[in-house]
Amino acid sequence: MKNCLLKTVFLIGLSFLMLPSLKLHAQEADNQFTLNFNVLERGELRYGEFREEDETLEGLSHFVLGRYRLTANYSRSWLEAKVSLQQAGTWGMAGGSFSLNEAWVKMKSEKGWFAQLGRQMLAYDDERIIGTNDWSVTAPTHDVLRMGYESKQHKVHLLLAYNQNPDNMNGNTYYTGGNQPYKSMQTLWYHFNTSQSPFGASLLFMNIGMQKDEDEPIDPQTFFQQVAGTYLSYKPKHWSAEGSFYYQMGREEHGLPLDAFMGSVKTEVKPNDSYSIYAGYDYLSGDRYFAVPPEGGVGMVYHDKIRGFNPIYGSHHQFYGAMDFFYMSTYVNGFTPGLQNAYLGGKYRPVKELTLDASVHYLAMATTLPDVDKTLGQEIELSANYAVTKYFTVEAGYSYLHGTETMQYLKRVSDGQRLHWAYLMLVVNPNIFSTTWNDKK
């Protein structure tokens, strides 16, 4: 724990010592300042969704979510800065959630070196492991130092974060109930691509320190887990293929060893700009039994390892079904049977501003349980997105999931496993002020 903190502080200090030696742009560009206002309103209708274990009532649920952001951006040749204020919540809810969504400063040189410090939204590759998850009105951000090098062919990023409970003068307590999802984090990401080829490749390694979300001594134990993997893509003009593989190891927040993995493949054929057909398959490993933490608790079998893969900070909504049953919510008693998601779909653009999307998903557990069918259900998803103007879009969607008895047991879904969900979303993102000036008199 202390060694990890010392290494993190050393790397942060070293990065700032390096900044003065960076050759900044010889010619100063004009200063630019913009002010943007983003409004997202989404009405949702749910029927046969989640229910508590002792709840017998079923019915229709409908509500409206709102998110409002005011963002200021400043830039010049060697410097960028951003501040974004956010209010999010459900219509009628007292107070809602008000936060500083982003606040960072970025320094860069003409040779491609950069350092970015502050609260940031992070997105890497296809966002399976680290993503903005912008569907959630309180999309996650990270208090982090991001530094590295970028050229036309190579990108290398190093992320460093260390979190602490507020007003904590003694000890190193940071529970998972804080604003940030971990105690400490170090990530190394490399990406290669070239304009001469449609091939791209990325490598990712994360080291994440977690503390338990409960009352602990002043200096509680931190357990470290690692995620390592790759993302590959090949995208010529009329078709594309992409795939990823990640392995999870180390120890989860209760101290149990981790031995989990995930893999995904997707291909899309696009004969022209009007329509395309896509298909893919996701596999996330799972456990065979309800786990019992080392100190006891709900469960049936003491595990020697946790084999349920956790995609941690990814944009889960766009991968594992629009109804968000998987990885946006937990199974009964925190069980992790993994997931298989096989899907087929197509997109159609009758006009430039309108995109229609339809897909069908086959969902199943990755693990095998005694006397329980692996199949969780089949989900049909329909959506339409219309760009009214450059700054105003309307989106609507409908999903139907026909679940199985396994789904009903593991997720406590109701009404004979017949689940419906629909939404209507408006996004308005105007640029309300912009100006440019230079420092020369």
Question: Residues 163-221: pLDDT tens digits?
Answer: 887 655 666 666 555 667 788 999 999 999 988 899 999 999 999 998 876 555 566 78
**Distance from C-alpha of 202 to C-alpha of 206, rounded to nearest angstrom:** 13
DSSP code per residue over 25-75 = -SSPPPEEEEEEEEEEEEEEEEES-B--TT-----EEEEEEEEEEEEEEEE
Hey, what domains does the chain have and what are their CATH numbers?
A: 2-437 (2.40.160.100)
> pTM for the full model?
0.88
Residue with tokens 């927040």: 253
143 SS3 class:
strand
DSSP code per residue over 102-139 = EEEEEEE-TTSEEEEEEEE----TTSSSB---TTSTT-
pLDDT, one tens digit per residue, over 101-158 is 999 999 999 999 999 999 999 999 999 999 998 898 888 899 999 999 999 999 999 9
**Distance from C-alpha of 27 to C-alpha of 76, rounded to nearest angstrom:** 10
The string over 112-135, giving b where at least 16 C-beta atoms fall within 10 Å of a residue's C-beta and e elsewhere, is ebbbbbbbbbbebbbbbbbbbbbb
Q: Which of 181, 267, 259 is nearest to 226 (CA)?
A: 259
**Distance from C-alpha of 278 to C-alpha of 170, rounded to nearest angstrom:** 54
146 SS3 class:
strand
Largest separation between any pair of C-alpha atoms in the chain:
80
9 SS3 class:
helix
Tell me the chain's radius of gyration from C-alpha atoms: 23
Q: Write the CA distances from 262 to 95, 166, 223, 306, integer angstroms.
A: 39, 36, 21, 14
Q: Which of 120, 146, 314 is nearest to 229 (CA)?
A: 314
Per-residue pLDDT tens digits of the chain, which is 441 residues long: 455 555 555 555 555 545 554 555 445 568 999 999 999 999 999 887 555 444 544 567 889 999 999 999 999 989 999 999 999 999 988 777 888 999 999 999 999 999 999 999 999 999 999 999 889 888 889 999 999 999 999 999 999 999 887 655 666 666 555 667 788 999 999 999 988 899 999 999 999 998 876 555 566 788 999 999 999 999 999 999 999 999 999 998 878 899 999 999 999 999 999 999 999 999 999 987 765 555 444 455 556 788 999 999 999 899 998 888 888 766 666 678 899 999 999 999 999 999 999 999 999 999 887 778 899 999 999 999 999 999 999 999 999 999 888 887 776 655 556 789 999 999 999 999 999 998 775
Q: What is the pLDDT of residue 407?
A: 83
Contact call for residues 202 and 157 (beta carbons, < 8 A): no
**β strands within 328-430, DSSP E:** 339-351, 354-364, 375-389, 392-403, 418-428
